[in-house]
Amino acid sequence: MKIAVFTDTFYPQVNGVVNAVRNFDRMLSGRGHEVRVFTEGRKPGVASMDGAEVHRYRAFTFLPYPEFEASVDVLGPVRDASRFGPEVVHAHTPFVLGYCAWRTARRLKVPLVGTFHTPVDEYVVYLSRHFKMSRRMLKGIARAYQNWFYGLCDVIIVPAKSAARYIDVKDRRIEVVSNGLDLKRYGREGRDAFREKFGLGESPVILHGGRLSFEKRIDGVIKAMPLVLEAVPDAKLLIVGRGPARKSLDALVEELGLQKSVVFTGYVSDDDFPKAFAAADVLALNSPVETQSLIVLEAFATGVPVVGADAGAIPDAVLPGENGFLFDTDDTKAMAGRLIQILSDKALREKLGRGALSTASEHSLEKSAEKLLAVYRSAIEKRT
């Protein structure tokens, strides 16, 4: 099968979308399918990665969200993808490259599959600083655009069942396909080296990983730390990743006097990222906008329990008392209580860790790739 993949975010960026695209590229190309990725890049060109041919088109830094690069070329991707002649087009974005995906599918009369990764309206916080419009108005525009785009797709994929509620489209098929994990990448290897590198020693470690963005509400995890430290004085909060919220998070750490208890790693390579989970004892997430939260599954694959917000897709995976606990978003007292409970009780931590491994096994990349191929095949059959 010839598959054209379009995404506005790709390596060397590190986030859930990039991980999902790259994992599926490896799996599908490994099974003999021909995959081409069409994405942005400051250095346009063609290269090979993960068994796929990657086409990059000139982009500029999107000032409201500096971590994001927007393509300025809407002709090249459509031209090159059309020459490739895919049997199915898969958009992992509703933005510029998503538009190119729609134009390609329309030109070739092939099915357009769109994966919904993140609610578009959650990025309004970045736009509202640059446009003289209320956040409420911008959110309305963002939702309308999001629904318009996914309404163009023949099939909409959501990585977790709960994510479907963010999309308001009629007469469109919605399929649940977990982004999946390469379970072989995760384990306890590298725990000691990672801890030594960042000065964690033998301290109990709470992890937060991924893009440091405002919509993730990482400040709530930091605000829970003073309560955690009252019961577990040597606990450390390890924040892995980079993003636009970093400066404000640094300021909050200083304001609360937590410089000795909070460690920022900055950028961590894809190869080293699993070691961050290995170094942790528990993962804490305060985000209300997860559509699957791949990082939850990555923690589970390492045997690390999760204390997460009872919002978005987190409760789809976190089963209280089995592999972690839930709390209401921004309820720092409840979050801190669950973190203290896990860090202070080795038997409970080990029990939750076993439950975490069991949950992760249900989201293997192999199973997800089979489901994705089934979606492709059925979409193609309905077009012919």
> How are the residues of the chain apportioned to helix, strand and coil, as percentages rounded to the nearest 5?
45, 20, 35
User: Which pairing describes strands 52-61 and 69-71: parallel, antiparallel, or unpaired?
Assistant: antiparallel
pLDDT at 139: 82
Residues forming a β-bridge with 88: 3
The Cα 306–Cα 299 span in angstroms is 7
Are residues 192 and 152 part of one domain?
Answer: no
Report the number of secondary-structure helices (H) and strands (E) in the chain: 14, 15
Percent of the chain with pLDDT over 70: 95
Contact indicator for 274, 247 with CB cutoff of 8 Å: no
pLDDT at 59 over 90: no
Are residues 230 and 174 part of one domain?
Answer: no
Instruction: Identify the domain containing residue 70 by its residue range.
Output: 2-180+364-383
Contact indicator for 277, 183 with CB cutoff of 8 Å: no
Domain count, the chain: 2
pLDDT at 132: 57
The Cα 235–Cα 204 span in angstroms is 5
Are residues 345 and 267 part of one domain?
Answer: yes
Are residues 240 and 175 part of one domain?
Answer: no
Are residues 342 and 282 part of one domain?
Answer: yes
pLDDT at 55: 98
pLDDT at 127: 56
The Cα 117–Cα 292 span in angstroms is 8
Are residues 41 and 129 part of one domain?
Answer: yes
Q: What is the DSSP string of 109-140?
A: T--EEEE--S-GGGGHHHHTTTSSS-HHHHHH
Are residues 95 and 27 part of one domain?
Answer: yes
Are residues 246 and 176 part of one domain?
Answer: no
pLDDT at 147: 95
The Cα 363–Cα 368 span in angstroms is 7
Are residues 240 and 333 part of one domain?
Answer: yes
Share the mean pLDDT of the chain.
Answer: 93
Q: What is the DSSP string of 308-375?
A: EESSTTHHHH--BTTTEEEE-TT-HHHHHHHHHHHHH-HHHHHHHHHHHHHHHHTTBHHHHHHHHHHH
- The string of pLDDT tens digits covering residues 80-124 is 999 999 999 999 999 999 999 999 999 999 999 999 998 877 666
Please state which of the ranges 32-36, 207-211, 217-221 shows the lowest mean pLDDT: 207-211
Cα–chain center distance at 83: 31
- The string of pLDDT tens digits covering residues 163-185 is 898 899 989 999 999 999 889 99
Are residues 115 and 19 part of one domain?
Answer: yes
| Mean pLDDT value of segment 158-162 | 91
Domain with residue 25: its CATH number is 3.40.50.2000
Are residues 144 and 7 part of one domain?
Answer: yes
Are residues 373 and 247 part of one domain?
Answer: no
| Mean pLDDT value of segment 299-328 | 97
The top-scoring range by mean pLDDT among 7-11, 227-231, 270-274 is: 227-231
User: Which pairing describes strands 34-41 and 52-61: parallel, antiparallel, or unpaired?
Assistant: parallel
